[in-house]
Amino acid sequence: MKFFVDTASLDQIKEANELGILDGVTTNPSLMAKEGITGQDNIYAHYQKICEIVDGDVSAEVISTDFEGIIKEGEALSKLAPNIVVKVPMIKDGVKALSYFRDNGIRTNCTLVFSAGQAILAAKAGATYLSPFIGRIDDISWDGIGLIEQIAEIYAIQGYETEILAASIRNAKHIVDAARAGADVFTCPLDAAMGLLKHPLTDIGLEKFLADHKKGNG
């Protein structure tokens, strides 16, 4: 399963990349604003800086919600760097745009997905990635991981090539559960991914090893 860090912070992206486990980056307007990046020129320049750090795919989100606007933005974003993936919302004009981008060789990430039906539409329209928001689904007492399982089963049966990108991940358990459910990619803040490192027995074991070494070596 691939790991994409969900941030616009260059420092976090560099840190994740230095760990040797980073496969890509996802961003959105909220994350850009959090880093103080505003205005189209500044946002586009920031995407290029991210692409200079990361060899893998970088999802760059369109703001428009109409077909013509999505196409115009998506084509401009795709020209920023060869590893840019255009992030398109799961709406009617978004599905139409996914088909257009597929036919014109532009890779896409269909975002704001909350149902298996939406996942089918995105796959049929040729989305490269599909982003179910499992944390937000859990927030309304539905089953985010269950949705990943459902989509993975449908894609396997139907032979769809769209990769399932588990998004809105809140903790390390989400990551493990998404992996078991069949997600191809998970995206989350670096802190959530680093939660995979933590286990009390690791800390206890390391403390004991170091204490024993100190006893035996003065």
Number of H helices, E strands in the chain: 11, 8
The helix/strand/coil state of 163 is strand
The helix/strand/coil state of 63 is coil
Whether 87 is catalytic: yes
Structure tokens at 39: 């205005």
Nearest C-alpha neighbor of 184 from the set 129, 111, 118: 129
Structure tokens at 63: 């703001």
Q: Which residue has the tokens 């269950």?
A: 146
Q: How distant is the alpha carbon of residue 217 from its chain centre?
A: 47
Do strands 84-89 and 57-61 pair parallel, antiparallel, or not at all (unpaired)?
parallel
Q: Which residues of 164-176 are buried (b: 16+ CB within 10 A; e: fewer)?
A: bbbbbbbebebbe
List 49, 87, 198, 215, catalytic entry: 87
Q: Which residue has the tokens 């795709």?
A: 78
Q: Which residues are catalytic?
A: 87
